[in-house]
Structure 1
């Protein structure tokens, strides 16, 4: 889509969708500017988050693995919503 200038990826702890997206962005040389925010970065690890998607397994799905995968793919990952707003302006 020629009119899309930036893509905002909003993720969460658990699951691997963000890491899959990061791999796609990296491997395809995705042409759009992508910025991201991972909700729950400060959630306590021992706290159960209430749905199956929040399961972390084999080192994937952690906040750290998501941030690393995305930044390695060239995505700017905001630490909070205010920072995300700065990235999209």
Structure 2
């Protein structure tokens, strides 16, 4: 998958999981600051990413993912769907 395809899929997932209008979701959104994701919300989202893309995301790696773009970059570089 291309980064654009991954980013679009992640934006769809964010819109659904965080109940945000899809038109307002973009790669620059910060999970904590813009989406008000608490730690449980974020862990659930990381698990959804792992299931969707086949990318194993360690706790340490997850701590470094703050934006949707960073999530897409991680998935592209660590996914089974390269």
More helix by share: 2
More strand by share: 1
Given the two structures, how large is their TM-score scaled by the length of structure 2? Answer: 0.30
Given the two structures, how large is their TM-score scaled by the length of structure 1? Answer: 0.29
Q: Which has the larger radius of gyration?
A: 1
